[in-house]
Structure 1
Amino acid sequence: MAVERKELLKHLDNLLQSHRIRDYCPNGLQVAGAEHISSIVTGVTASQALIDAAIERGADTILVHHGYFWKGEDERITGIKRERLKSLLANDINLIAYHLPLDMHPIYGNNAQLADVLGLQVDGPLDESDLSVPGNIGRLPRPMSGKEFRAWLGECLKREPLHIGEENDTIETIAWCTGGAQGYLQKAVNAGVDAFLTGEINEPAVHLARETGTHFFSAGHHATERYGAKALGEYLADEFPVDVEFIDIDNPV
């Protein structure tokens, strides 16, 4: 049992509306392998460890959120890029990647899936004036103190988050954007929510959070983006005659 690669890609491109989204990398097929797909490994990032796991399982396709060929990177095929591509090509493995389209999908996207994991209510987009910005605003499952929500994040994501803000403040409304979205903190401030959740944090964000009184939770780039590729793979397993396995190559960042 298998599906033709072109059929799978057409379905994914249509589902994720990748042609509508400007991105920092090519979305869809990044490295061509087998034309008939029967076994897919999904994961967050196309690291060498994920490729090795796919080879070990005899998979013919890898589907990830973080693929290759980012704008501004060294274009030469050297170092780890050479080794990764060598492994894919030698084993006839397709590499399929969706970056922003997978962040933004209302069902299988990273932000939608993170909301499901944390029990967050989605009220709307992070920036109503610019729908190309990923992320959402909404509400916690119930009002929680900063300390309680930090503990809830740690329990749900299996990772201790960083919290900037007063532990005893009550949090009801929240904005979130998975991954490295610390630059969107001002959008959360503009939206007037109590807190902002993302994967990473930088030095300016600490001061902005403190000076505006907006709670900032940094829960890990990888930890907040585990769920999109997994959910998309499960969907594909229901739609097509393929075996799909999510492999979590842990990353502390």
Structure 2
Amino acid sequence: MTTRDELGSYLSTLLEIDRFKDYGPNGLQVEGKPAIRKLVSGVTASLAFIEAAAAAGADALLVHHGLFWRGQDGRLTGWLKHRVAALLARDISLFAYHLPLDAHPEHGNNAQFGAKLKFTAEERFGEQQLGFLGRPPQPMTTAALAALLQFRLGRATVMVEGDGRPIKRVAWCTGGAQGYFEAAIAAGADAYLTGEISEPQAHIARETGVAFYACGHHATERYGAPALGAHVAQLFALEHEFIDVDNPA
């Protein structure tokens, strides 16, 4: 068992939240009961996740996508009211870490995504050093990398092949990081992996020869929260459970 404040303080220090310019608040977003015995981790603080975690006996939730974002209206109405009300009614705390969880070198989304694919991370790149650059287990074709992604992630990947060069250096940044593609090219990648693709990336891939893979926002970010949850559960002798609410995005 630990306390809400002890857990929050540890996570803030571990993830170095003060060094990130982010799109919303990192840390405790909804205050629940002081004592924590069971922690439930997940990708997004959706109503389905909150209700499933409550049914599992959670005292606190640990997620990547929290409730509050820059530019939001801010009023507790509609879907946001229902999510907050579900937490308050059960006295459950919500901890959310966005970019700090992407970036952590061991428990973060990018580190865990690379480990899932058995990539060797060698460098960091991009704004706030969120992107990872490294090597696959061995050089592979673009089709072989697409097959590996589908096998490991359990879903089809959108691939823009580039010039078909062998993939020797690969860059990745989970979630909606399609804007990092040009930084990955400048860093020397033969292929770039992220969650989403927008209109410009297909043209850039064809014109530069660097392959682009859109693997799914949710699919690429399923790994940081459970890894971090397992770490703090072991450290503080907590019960921990990861609940994955499927998302086609």
Query: TM-score w.r.t. structure 2 length?
Result: 0.97
- The 5-angstrom pairing of residues 20-39 of structure 1 reads 20-39=19-38
1:224 aligned to 187, 202, 220, which one? 220
Q: Within 2, Cα distance between the matches of 1:151 and 1:166?
A: 16
- 1:135 maps to a residue whose letter is G
Moved over 3 A (4+): 166-169
Relative to structure 1, the CA distance from residue 168 to residue 207 in structure 2 (aligned partners, 3 Å threshold; closer, same or farther) is: closer
Q: Gaps (5+ residues) in structure 1?
A: none
2:231 aligned to 204, 228, 235, which one? 235
* Conserved 8 A contact 2:175-2:221: yes
- The 5-angstrom pairing of residues 38-187 of structure 1 reads 38-127=37-126, 130=127, 132-165=128-161, 169-187=165-183
Q: Within 1, Cα distance between the matches of 2:16 and 2:165?
A: 40
Q: Within 1, Cα distance between the matches of 2:164 and 2:28?
A: 48
Corresponding residue of 1:209? 205
- 2:79 maps to a residue whose letter is I
Determine helix, strand or coil for the equivalent of 2:169: strand
Deviation at 1:20, TM superposition (A): 1.5
* Conserved 8 A contact 1:5-1:36: yes
* Conserved 8 A contact 1:41-1:246: yes
1:194 aligned to 179, 190, 196, which one? 190
Deviation at 1:143, TM superposition (A): 0.7
Q: Gaps (5+ residues) in structure 2?
A: none
Q: Within 1, Cα distance between the matches of 2:206 and 2:129?
A: 24
Query: TM-score w.r.t. structure 1 length?
Result: 0.96
Q: Within 1, Cα distance between the matches of 2:45 and 2:139?
A: 38
Identity percentage over the alignment? 51
* Conserved 8 A contact 1:164-1:209: yes
* Conserved 8 A contact 2:162-2:207: no
Determine helix, strand or coil for the equivalent of 2:42: strand
Deviation at 1:167, TM superposition (A): 8.5
* Conserved 8 A contact 1:40-1:59: yes
